[in-house]
Amino acid sequence: MTEPQPTAPASATGLFQSLTHFVGTLVGLLHTRLELLTTEVQEEVQRAAGLLIWAFVVSFAAMMALFLAALTVIFVFWDSYRVAAALAMVVLFVVIAVTGAVTLKKRLKSKPQLLGATLAELARDRDHLRAKL
């Protein structure tokens, strides 16, 4: 005759399945959040690269235009007020540089938080898990 095989209690099996399901859910949650993180990092890198390229193009074009405008003003007043025209152009360029620096400082301070969506999703996940416990 065969002896009956001892079986695990139903509560232990249910606990193991519940723990396995919890770990699977947690891994899936982390996987989703990491995908979101990598997407945000890629978007931020692309945005920064695009901004740098356009900043260079705009800066170069603006410098050329201002240089040629300054030369034009100095040439127009070459015989009468050459020094005053040159000083006026210097003052104009200083004002433009200061205005640009202030604007740049404001824009750098007002940029969106890096990985803001990922952090918000993680906070929601944390709150959801705390509510369940």
Mean pLDDT of 22-46: 83
Span 40-70, pLDDT tens digits: 888 888 988 888 898 888 888 888 888 888 8
Tell whether the model's pLDDT for residue 75 goes beyond 70: yes
Q: What is the mean pLDDT of the chain?
A: 80
Q: Are residues 70 and 89 in contact, defined by beta-carbon separation less than 8 angstroms?
A: yes
Query: Tokens in use for 20?
Result: 């396995």
Which helix (H) or strand (E) element contains residue 2? none
Residue 51 is predicted with a pLDDT of 86
Name which of 28-42, 62-76, 106-120 the model is least confident about: 106-120
